[in-house]
Amino acid sequence: MTKEAFEQLYIELLPGLYRLAVSILYHREDAMDAVQQTAEKAWRVSDRIQSGREKAYIVRIVINECRNIQRYRKRVVPRSDFAEEKTYDENPELYATICGLPEKYRLPLLMKYMEGFSEKEIAETLHISESAVKSRLHRARNKLKDIILEREGEEL
């Protein structure tokens, strides 16, 4: 992949990478750090990224960078700080609910429905089988449904 093609792809992926990083780290500044580190690392190896797998490769770097930030900073950000975050304007309440799910359900859900990844791409990126992706998506949808129904019941 040429440097110019990489730049174009990265610019297209940038908003989604940021949302993904925020959903993992719950902190805007940490997410921006993860996305910036991703750009640097992916840029260095952009000519060696396998054709057709660029998107999955870059997303995998973001996830790894987020985990590195969590590991090195060992900081816990209260959920109340994250609740004020407005990173997904179409339905911030739904986005906040999704971000409250455990990571193993949250990541596939965000990648599938908010970033448009196929189940095969999600499986490659997260290093799990396609059937595991389908199972996690199913469980995540059920958990979301339960949370939403519970909230509606409380409002009555």
Q: pLDDT tens across 112-128, in order?
A: 988 889 999 999 988 99
pLDDT digits (tens, 9 = 90+) for 93-108: 887 888 888 989 999 9
The tokens of 5 are what?
């093609």
The per-residue pLDDT for range 4-42, each reduced to its tens digit, is 888 899 999 999 999 999 989 888 999 999 999 999 999
Mean pLDDT across 134-144: 94
Interatomic CA distance for residues 128 and 76, integer angstroms: 27
Distance CA 50, CA 44 (A): 14
- Indicate the domain borders of the chain: 3-155
- Homologous superfamily of the 3-155 domain (CATH): PhyR, sigma-like (SL) domain (1.20.140.160)
Q: What is the pTM of this model?
A: 0.61
CA 99, 10, 84 angle in degrees (round to 5)?
25
Average pLDDT of the residues of the chain: 84
The residue type of 136 is R
pLDDT at 96: 81
